[in-house]
Structure 1
Amino acid sequence: MPEYGYFLSCEQFGPAELIEQARMAEQAGFQALWISDHYHPWNDEQGQSPFVWSVIGALSQAVSLPIETAVTCPTVRIHPAVVAQAAATSAVMTGGRFRLGVGSGEALNEHVVGGAWPPARVRLEMLEEAIEVMRRLFTGEQVTHHGTHYTVENARLYTVPDEPVPIDVSGFGPVATDLAARVGDGYITMIPDASMVERYRSGGGGTKPVSGGTKVCYDTDPEAAVRTVHRLWANELLPGELGQVLPSPKHFEQAQTLVTEDMVRENRVCGDDVDAHVAELKRFADAGFDRVYVNQIGPDLRGFFDFYRTKVLPQLP
């Protein structure tokens, strides 16, 4: 039976709003939290981008739910030795309720420090080496590392949790999924594809947790919900690798003019049809996911949490 969690969006909400949403999620019966890690929003309409590690510190004191980044890129913008310190402190502050979700990142967030944006093959190499560095640091022992992409000199984390922070790896294609199976403590993907779950499990993932997430727009007016999604999150319907290579919110705004409201209607749950919301989350359960996270796009957060507390979550397995 999957656990159902709430997905906090740092691209759309400021720190105080995220903390309040986390409290409402816990009260509504959600069992865990995801939180995104971005330097930029995808577009200016979303309008926010708080530093995720500060928000996690506040969340650790505001709620008792498990928390996971979905996902952090520990390769370009922030050196993996620093991400390891942030993750270890988060695990200590949450009493071991923190998991580190990692991925190969997007140019949107990572190129801001001025380096070239590597091709996908190199980004996955960097991610694998970064995971190795972070795992060694989580032991609390002194680490010196001279690798292909990273150097660490005489580094030691003094504040570490009793158990090493679990590292879940995001993957959307076969190569990244195979990496997750080989080196991850769990697998993250946004696509409820049973074949990819099977690939992960048979490739070495075994019974480790598989987590997925989706976005919906609760609104008593379905057409208003469609317009809201089209205005705020049309970027999610862009094809191919655009999400990984476009460098700024302005570029996403230009590209998402190709996304129509009809495309939103076909690909996102919009409105207050209970069966549609239940069916969206059951797609992940049916594909073999262990944890499913949902994000509310629209402005009626209190309505969303009441709707899920009373009508949606009670119908889920």
Structure 2
Amino acid sequence: MVFLGYHASHEQLPPSRLLAAVQEAERSGFDGAMCSDHFAPWGLAQGESGHAWSWLGAAMATTRFPMGVVSAPGQRYHPAISAQAMATLAEMFPSRFWCALGSGEALNEHVTGDTWPPKPRREERLSEVVDVIRRLHAGERVDHDGLVRVHDARLWSRPADPPRLRAAAASQPTAAAVAAWADGLITVGHDPDEIRAIIAAYRDAGGRGPCAVQVHVSLADSDDEARRIAAEQWRQATAPEELMWDLMQPEDFDRLADPGDARALENGVLISSDEEEMAARLADLVPAGADELYLHGVGQNQDAFLARARDGLLDAVRSRA
């Protein structure tokens, strides 16, 4: 049976409300959860961005299911500090925590004042970060002098079982590149052909572990309402894809987005008022290679989304998948 997880979006809710939402997600029948790790929201209408690692301690202490985060150490976070945070969560909550590592977005990383590197250099930096974190989790004393620098670091509080390091990838080339080190993959989207191609690139390159897909969904009482919510809250999905990683402010995304572009919006968000239709489309991602689906209700009213999930959507996906 497919694993159905809940995505907690720090960009859209204050941390206290998001904590209540993830607790309700467990009660509603989700199998686990994941969260974002942002310094800023994508757009002004979202309006929030709590600190993911502070929140994760509270979230995991007040739930029982597994939980993960997508993070980008290397600029905003020093990899030794990220390794320490991961190790602490994994020690407190054995076998429940994972972290997916990516090369990051300027939206979150520019705040250090350091130069935002081009994609190839960010990928090289990520490879160094993974090596540093793995060595620290293994108990080594680590010195490293490269795109990141580490001086004689070691972790004193380590879990018996190090946390799994998944990789975040939004394209086939990236999925193939991370296969050498990742304990699993997470990607995003709802087009079965695109998801199949990304997962196949990862598997064909020797990628191991579970393959997860994060799906942005807007489920409301009418199609028009579902579309309105998506256009308000997830409009950055319509911004030019090639610019997404390099924009630095929510205003930049708002300026370049075109929420009136129905096709672009529907490419970014699965929009429907019909639970059965949405469930069928979500279930189509399982034969495309998804072992886990993480559903992100893009509206700020998470109570309404979680009620729909509890009262029909989750069971409908499971029955089809």
Q: TM-score category by the smaller chain?
A: over 0.9
- TM-score between the two structures when normalised by the length of structure 1: 0.94
RMSD, aligned CA = 1.5
8 A Cα contact 1:218 1:300, kept in partner: no
Partner Cα distance (1:265, 1:176) in 2: 24
Deviation at 1:269, TM superposition (A): 3.1
- TM-score between the two structures when normalised by the length of structure 2: 0.93
Distance 1:23 1:96, change over 3 A: same
Paired-residue identity, %: 34
Q: Which runs of 5+ in 1 are unaligned?
A: none
2:270 matches 1:269: yes
Distance 1:77 1:299, change over 3 A: closer
Question: Which runs of at least 4 in structure 1 moved beyond 4 Å after TM superposition?
Answer: none
8 A Cα contact 1:210 1:291, kept in partner: yes
Partner Cα distance (2:314, 2:9) in 1: 20
Partner Cα distance (2:35, 2:281) in 1: 20
| Aligned twin of 2:10 | 10
Deviation at 1:270, TM superposition (A): 3.1
Partner Cα distance (1:280, 1:54) in 2: 35
Report how many residues are paired. 313
Partner Cα distance (1:218, 1:183) in 2: 36
8 A Cα contact 2:73 2:126, kept in partner: yes
Alignment match of 1:182 (pick from 180, 183, 190): 180
Matched residue type, 2:123: L
Alignment of structure 1 residues 199-238 onto 2, 5 Å: 199-206=201-208, 208-238=209-239
Partner Cα distance (1:261, 1:21) in 2: 30
| Aligned twin of 2:26 | 26
8 A Cα contact 2:219 2:297, kept in partner: yes
Partner Cα distance (2:148, 2:266) in 1: 43
8 A Cα contact 1:96 1:161, kept in partner: no
| Aligned twin of 2:108 | 109
Partner Cα distance (2:120, 2:213) in 1: 23
Q: Which moved more, 1:218-227 or 1:2-11?
A: 218-227
- The CA deviation string for residues 54-103 of structure 1, in whole angstroms up to 9 with x for no partner, is 0001011110111111x201111111111111111111222231001110
- The CA deviation string for residues 184-226 of structure 1, in whole angstroms up to 9 with x for no partner, is 01111113421221121121114x1101111112221321221
Q: Which runs of 5+ in 2 are unaligned?
A: none
Partner Cα distance (2:14, 2:256) in 1: 25
Partner Cα distance (1:20, 1:202) in 2: 40
Deviation at 1:299, TM superposition (A): 3.7
Q: Which moved more, 1:111-120 or 1:229-238?
A: 229-238
